[in-house]
């Protein structure tokens, strides 16, 4: 492939899949932040205003984290692609195979890490999600306690005895 087309293609991919999404993320999230900030000033009740302000601050922090993680995780992959495209061939040939593979795998790892971190950012940072996880854990604990209690009661109310070499189940009336 012609070197000029290869470079143009790499730049196009970088702009299309890194620069434009980053700018769109920033613009949309700044807009969300401004709307939240404007709406938090409209309440007259001081207590309600404080609660709303805290929630809006949390949303703003989540948005900032999502944008920052996107920028940081996608950057090594895009920089590596640009470097391999625009660097002199002599510089790239100086790298050993292990060094080149390390660079490629680490940049790809960061790229995929963004997609693995997003659910954590969206869910585990959310206070509603944390409340639901605690509620789920509590209900699972209650369910397990009930199951274990029933199992314990069923085992203690029956005993086994040997009758002519065979095991028979006899109800224990002592309880």
Tens-of-pLDDT digits for all 175 residues of the chain? Answer: 688 999 999 999 999 999 999 999 889 888 888 887 787 666 556 677 777 777 788 778 888 888 899 999 999 999 999 999 999 999 999 999 999 999 999 999 999 999 898 888 877 767 777 777 788 788 888 888 888 788 777 766 554 444 445 554 555 555 4
Cβ burial of 73 (10 Å; 0-12, 13-18, 19+) is: buried
- Residues forming a β-bridge with 158: 171
Residue 58 C-beta-side C-alpha neighbours within 13 Å: 15
For residues 69 and 121, the answer to whether their CB atoms sit within 8 Å is: yes
pTM of the model: 0.63
Residue 46 C-beta-side C-alpha neighbours within 13 Å: 0
Residue 36 C-beta-side C-alpha neighbours within 13 Å: 18
């Amino acid at each position: 492939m012609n070197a000029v087309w290869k470079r143009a293609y790499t730049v196009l991919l970088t702009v299309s899949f890194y620069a434009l999404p980053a700018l769109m993320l920033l613009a949309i999230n700044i807009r969300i932040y401004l709307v939240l900030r404007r709406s938090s000033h409209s309440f007259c009740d001081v207590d309600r205003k404080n609660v709303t302000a805290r929630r809006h601050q949390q949303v703003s922090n989540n948005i900032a984290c999502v944008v920052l993680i996107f920028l940081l995780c996608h950057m090594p992959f895009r920089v590596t692609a640009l470097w391999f495209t625009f660097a002199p061939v002599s510089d790239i040939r100086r790298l050993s195979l292990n060094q080149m593979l390390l660079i490629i795998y680490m940049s790809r790892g960061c790229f995929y890490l963004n997609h693995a971190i997003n659910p954590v950012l969206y869910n585990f940072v959310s206070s509603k999600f944390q409340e639901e996880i605690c509620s789920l854990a509590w209900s699972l604990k209650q369910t397990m306690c009930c199951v274990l209690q029933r199992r314990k009661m069923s085992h203690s109310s029956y005993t086994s005895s040997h009758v002519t070499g065979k095991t028979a189940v006899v109800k224990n009336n002592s309880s």
